[in-house]
Amino acid sequence: MMRKIKNIAIVAHVDHGKTTLVDAMLKQAGVFRKNQEVAERVMDSNDLERERGITIFSKNAAFHYKDVKINIVDTPGHSDFGGEVQRILKMVDSVLLLVDAVEGPMPQTKYVLKNALSLGLKPIVVINKIDRKGSRPEAVLDMVLDLFIELNASDEQLDFPVVYASAKRGVAMHGVDDESRDLTPLLDTMLEHVPDSEGDLEHPLQMLVSAIEYDNYIGKIGTGKVVNGAVRQGDEVLLLKRSGDRILYRVSRIFSYEGLKKIPVEEGVAGDIVSIAGLETVDVGETIADRENPIPLPLIEIDEPTLSMTFMVNDSPFAGKDGKYVTSRNLWDRLQKELQTNVSIRVERTERAEAFTVKARGELQLAVLIENMRREGYEFQVSKPRVIYRELKGKRTEPIELAVIDVADEFAGVVIEKLGVRKGQMVNMSNGNDGYTRLEFKVPARGLIGFRNEFMTVTRGTGILNHTFYEYEYEKGEIPGRSRGVLISQSKCKSVGYALFNLQPRGELFIGPGVDTYEGMIVGEHSRDNDLVVNVAKGKKLTNTRASGSDEAIRLTPPREFSLEQAMEFIADDELLEITPRHIRMRKKILNAMDRRKAANMASWS
C-alpha cells in the first residue's frame, strides 16, 4: 500500500514570514531534538540569506504528521528570484499563501498567486503576524479576496480556507479571537485541504526535474517529483533533454527528505519528492523517464530576463592585487557553473573575448551573483544594468514594473513628482491610518534603475519601495539619468586628508584619507552636473611661517559608503564597477582624462 504524501510550497512577498513558519512547523513535528540548538530561520542556510534576512534559493524539507508525509518547499519572496518559484510550483499539490496582517498583498504576492492559480492549484491563505502592531486581518482578507477575483480565480479556488497565525510565536487559529497554543489548526487544515499527491505506480517512470545541485563526491543531483512509476538505485533510465536528445544513465544514488536532511533510500515512488544522482547532464525542466517506454512531461516555462549586465576582466591599474580568479576563462567557467543551478539567468559571449553578457530578472539577482563571486575569490568588472528591449509589431517595447510605495503623507507629493519625471503612471493611491500613504505606479524598469538612492534621500530613509515585473509596453521615451557629475582622481596615489578637506566644498566624497586611488577612479559626487578631475594627494606646503587662520584643524565629513546594489545603481553608462574580494570601486570606462575628452568629441561629431 502506498503511503499518503502531500507536497506543498510556501509562497509570499519578501519578509512576510515564510521561513519562520517553516521553522515552527518543523519544531512542532519533532524534527529537532529537545536539547538541540536550532538557529533562527534554519532553512536560510546560505551566508547571504542570513545576512540579508531573505530567502534566495528554494529548499526542501519533510516531516510526518498523523501518519502523512508532508514535503514542504520554502520559496524566495523577491520577484528577482521568480524563476525559483515557477519551477517549484510544478512539483507541489497546493500552496500556502502567506500575507502580512499589516501590509496586505504586495507585488510579489500577486506574482506568485498568479502562477499558482494558472497551474490550477488551490491555495490555503495564511494571514501571518496577527500580533504585530497595526494588524488588520479582516481588511487584509478582503484585499486577498479582491486579488483572487482580479486574477480570475475559479469558483473552487475562491473558496479558499483561511488560517490566522503568528509564525514567530508558533501559533495558528481558525478565527482571529480563537485561543491556540501551537500550529495544530494550520496542520489540520493542510491535511484536510491539500490533495494527496497522485501518481500511478504501474505506469512507466516519469520524473520532472525542478532543481539542480552539485556534490563534489557524487556529481550532479536532480531533485523533483516522481509523477508516475518508481525509480530504484541501479536502474537504467533515459534523460529526455530540452534539445530532444535521449541519454541513457544508471541511477547511482536516490535521496528522500526527512526534516532538513537528505537520507539515502532504495527507491522513489510516485507522488514523492526525491533527489537522484548519476545523471551527469541533467538540467532543470527535463524528464527522467523509463528506458523501455519514455514519455516526456511538459517543460517548465520560466519568465524571460528583463535586465542585462556586461561582466568583464578587470583591467584597472590595481588588477590582480586581491583576486584569486582573474582571467576570462575563470570568469566564463564560473558563469557557466551558475547556469547549471540558476534557471532564470542567461550568459552570452560578446564581440570581445574578455567580456560576457549576463541577463537576469532584476538588479538583486545580479547583485547576489556578483557578491557570491566576490566571496569565492573572483575579480572582475561590471557595467551599469541595462533593460532588455523586445520588438512587438515592428515597434520597440520595454519592461514595465509595478511599484508599490509606502511613504509618509508629507513625502507623497515629492515621490509622485520624482516618478512622474521617470515616466511613472499612478494606478492607485490610498491613505492608511498610521500617517502613511500607499502609492501604486507602473514605471519603466530603466526608470527605477538608480531611483532607490534618490527615493531614500527624499523620504529621509522612511519610505518602503517594492516592485515586480508587470508586462512589456511600448517604449516610454527618454528618461533623465543622474543629475550630478562625479569627482575623478587625476593620478595613481594615496589620498591625503588635507586634499580631501579642500575638496569637500566641491561635492560629497566617497573615500577617506589613506586610500589608494588611480587615474580615472571615482572618488566623489560633484555638486554640479559635470565631471571634475581632482588631485586627492595634494599635501600642505610646509613653511616656517605660522598664521592663526591657515593652521586650523582639518575636519573631514565621513565619506559616503556604498553597498553593492547602491553602487550598481549609481554608476552611469560611461562608468564601471571594479569588483574584488576586498573592494568595490567605481571608475570611468576610459581612465585617461584626455582620452575621455577625445571620445566625447568623436561622439558629438558622429
Mean pLDDT of the chain: 82
Q: What is the pLDDT of residues 505-517, one digit of tens each?
A: 999 999 999 999 9
CATH classification of the domain holding 251: 2.40.30.10
The model carries a pTM of 0.78
In this prediction, residues 141-162 reach a mean pLDDT of 87
Virtual CA dihedral for 200, 206, 210, 215, nearest 10 degrees? 110
* pLDDT band at 569; cut points 50, 70, 90: confident
Residues 32 and 156 in one domain: yes
565 in a domain, yes or no? Answer: yes
Q: Name the DSSP letter for residue 480.
A: -
Categorize the per-residue pLDDT at 330 as very low, low, confident or very high, splitting at 50, 70 and 90. Answer: very high
Residues spanned by the domain of 185: 5-193
Q: Please identify, among 262, 290, 318, the residue that sits at the C-terminal boundary of a domain.
A: 290
- Same domain, residue pair 169 and 22: yes
Residue 38 reports pLDDT greater than 60: no
Same domain assignment for residues 38 and 169: yes
Q: Which pLDDT score, from 0 to 100, does residue 278 have?
A: 83
C-alpha cell recorded at residue 515: 586610500
48, 145: one domain: yes
Same domain, residue pair 557 and 432: no
Q: Which amino acid is at 313?
A: V
Contact assessment for residue 111 and residue 82, using Cβ atoms and an 8 Å cutoff: yes
Amino acid 280 reads E
Gyration radius of the chain over CA positions: 27
From the number of C-beta atoms within 10 Å of its C-beta (0-12, 13-18, 19+), residue 241 rates as middle
Q: Model confidence over 532-567: pLDDT tens digits?
A: 999 998 887 777 666 555 556 778 889 988 888 888
State which of 147, 170, 193 marks the end of a domain.
193
Examine residue 345 and state whether it is found in any structural domain, yes or no: no
Of the pLDDT bands very low, low, confident and very high (cuts 50, 70, 90), residue 41 is: very low
Q: Are residues 581 and 446 in the same domain?
A: no
Residue 176, domain CATH: 3.40.50.300
Q: 323 with 377: CB under 8 angstroms?
A: yes
* Residue 358: inside a domain: no
Query: Do residue 446 and residue 546 come from a single domain?
Result: no
Residue 160, in any domain of the structure: yes
What CATH number does residue 447 fall under? 3.30.70.240
DSSP one-letter code for 551: T
Confidence class for position 39, pLDDT limits 50, 70, 90? very low
Same domain as 450, residue 495: no
Q: Is 232 part of a structural domain of the chain?
A: yes
Res 327 pLDDT > 50: yes
Distance, CA of 56 to CA of 15 (rounded, Å): 12
Q: Which CATH number do you get for residue 560?
A: 2.40.50.250
Strand partners, 431: 437
* 601 part of a folded domain: yes
Question: Is residue 311 one of the residues assigned to a domain?
Answer: no
Cell of 587: 571608475
Give the chain's count of helices (H) and strands (E). Answer: 15, 35
pLDDT at 381: 94
Q: Evaluate whether 412 touches 439 at the Cβ level (below 8 Å).
A: yes
Of 89, 92, 72, the residue nearest 258 (C-alpha): 72
* Residue 525 and residue 427 share a domain: no
Report residue 15's pLDDT band, with 50, 70 and 90 as the boundaries: low
Q: Per residue in 276-302, pLDDT tens? A: 888 888 877 788 888 888 888 887 777
Could you tell me how far CA 393 lies from the centroid of its own chain? Answer: 32
State residue 275's pLDDT score. 87
Total domains in the fold of the chain: 4
Q: Are 326 and 354 in contact (CB under 8 A)?
A: no
What is the H or E stretch that residue 474 is in?
Answer: strand 464-474
* Domain identity same for 30 and 139: yes
How far apart, in whole angstroms, are the C-alpha atoms of residue 173 and residue 186?
A: 7
Whether 262 is covered by a domain: the verdict is yes
What is the enclosing helix (H) or strand (E) of 51? Answer: helix 47-52
